[in-house]
Chains A and B, each alone.
Chain A
Amino acid sequence: MIVTKQKTAEEISNYILQYKSFFLVGCSECATLCGTGDEDAILNLKEWLEKEGKRVTGWFIAKTGCQILGTKRELSGYKQLLEEADCILVLSCGAGTQTLNEFFEDKPVIPVNDTLFIGNMRRFKEFEEKCKACGECFLAITGVCIITLCPKSMLNGPCGGYKDGNCEVNFHRKCAWLIAFDILQKRGLIDKFYESFLGPKDWSKANSPRNYSVKER
């Protein structure tokens, strides 16, 4: 999922200083799992805005905020409340915020959250980054994503910086390449892996912005 974190009240205040009325939009997918786009998050924000002397004209939670046409259809039921608002506040990821941006040329659309990363949830609302969508997956070879988990995206084994088996950058984490190395060893693939070398990686597959249509297949 896309992991999001609510901005600080101070940062939000700076963005909305000149506006008086707001329409709030949440998202029932990732942002709800992160607690940044669900009903609680919306009602908390509403309460805070009202304490700050602002008015909330209404709110709704998009089924899937990153689905552009579906969200547009859902919003059609809130036309009046949207018109009354000076500003739209979006409690979603950056993709969801930009869905809303497409619909309002004049009205400011402001993100309430920062978008952090693609995350796996280990425990409730605890997220870990395991994939950075680099466009060229090596998991079949290395078992864990060394592009994402190794801060240097080493392709051919660990650097010489680990200490007590931990990463030189994230001291509390085991070196990603030591994990990958263990996996390769357990699968009896170490010698095969080192018969050659991996890379250089095709980073052009990660050049933004990316488009993809299933029709391209």
Chain B
Amino acid sequence: MTLLKKKLLNGDFVITVEITPPKGPDVTSMLTKLEKLKYLTDAVNFTDNPSAKMRLCSMAACKLSLEMDFEPVLQMTCRDRNRIAIQSDLLGAHALGIRNLLVMTGDHPIWGDQKEAKPVYDIDSSIMIKLVKDLNEGKDICGNPLYGRTDFFVGGVVNPCIEPILPQLKRFEQKLKLGADFFQTQMIFEIDKLKRFMDFANKFDEVKVIVGIIIIRTKKMLYYIAEKIPGVAVPLWLMNKVNDLSDKDVEKFGIDFASKITMDIIENRLAQGIHIMAISKVEDVKNFLNYIKIRECKLWVS
């Protein structure tokens, strides 16, 4: 059983982090980051060509992480593979020792650096969750028996801040019914919207939700998120707030803001973990986690 699964099933609070594999075969910098992050977080997600920008594959990054004893989460999208390739890659990932999955439909190639690429989208993320559960039952998507069965722990994604929210909630419910073991949210800027989603999610038994957290480092980063990340709406008050700060103060604010949201989650027992997205410096993660871990311990004791 993976650490992520064990902790989530035990009701423990989990902390995961996101790494985007390099654009090129040189993994030196990624490995250096992983070496530091493995002592800070429970698992590391490797993104699958995020924003449709071509990168080293998530599966290889997961394998390298496993070799360092740092538990990986393989992210897989439906954008670049048909159902044959998805199943084949998942069987390969399993053979390499990868067990945690996070599946999603994936940003369209129009967002990427190779816009002329043909998008695949043979299946969507709901069906992909079912497909993984089929593999776990020892059969392929058509019901053909497999030699052995996989043992994947599969997560789905949900975007709690999007408007209108109802279609997202219905898809969340559908993914849950199809067998999603846990959920990871898109980045959260407004705790009220997370609460709105959790009110719905808590109608179902034992839903495991990990909340996407972003550490704002620069004004440019926030503008980029607001403009270039599909489905993410940065609230105007936050844009204005950051805009009024000096560059130096933005860094401090970024840590404070991420900590405030995280503390809200912990104090109100809103969700079962956080996932730190789009990191640039390990140092930021370290500072942030050192800060919240101290306070988290106090809270659980009280």
Contacts and interface: CB of A to CB of B under 8 A. Distances in A.
Interface string A195-211: 00101110100000000
A23 B178 CA distance: 60
Nearest to B121: A152
Contacts of A157: 126, 167, 170-171, 174
Given A152-B119, A159-B231, A197 B127 contact: yes
B167 A177 contact: yes
A160 B231 contact: yes
Given A165-B164, A190-B170, A160 B124 contact: no
Interface residues of B, number: 39
Nearest to A161: B230
Interface of A: 151-165, 168-169, 177-178, 181, 190, 194, 197, 199-201, 203
B167 A199 contact: no
Nearest to A181: B167
Given A152-B121, A159-B230, 18 more contacts: A151-B110, A152-B105, A152-B119, A153-B121, A154-B121, A155-B126, A155-B127, A156-B124, A156-B126, A157-B174, A158-B171, A159-B231, A160-B157, A164-B163, A165-B163, A194-B170, A197-B126, A200-B123
Given A197-B127, A197-B130, A163 B230 contact: yes
Contact of B108 (A160, A169, A201): A169
Contact of A154 (B105, B110, B111, B186): B105
Contacts of B157: 160
A199 B163 contact: no
A34 B27 CA distance: 53
Contacts of A169: 108, 110
Which 8 A/B pairs are nearest by Cβ-Cβ distance? A161-B230, A160-B159, A168-B230, A161-B231, A156-B126, A157-B171, A160-B231, A152-B121
A117 to B, nearest CB: 16
Given A152-B119, A169-B108, A197 B168 contact: no
Contacts of A158: 167-168, 171
Contact of B124 (A155, A190, A203): A155
B267 interface: no
Contacts of A194: 170, 173-174
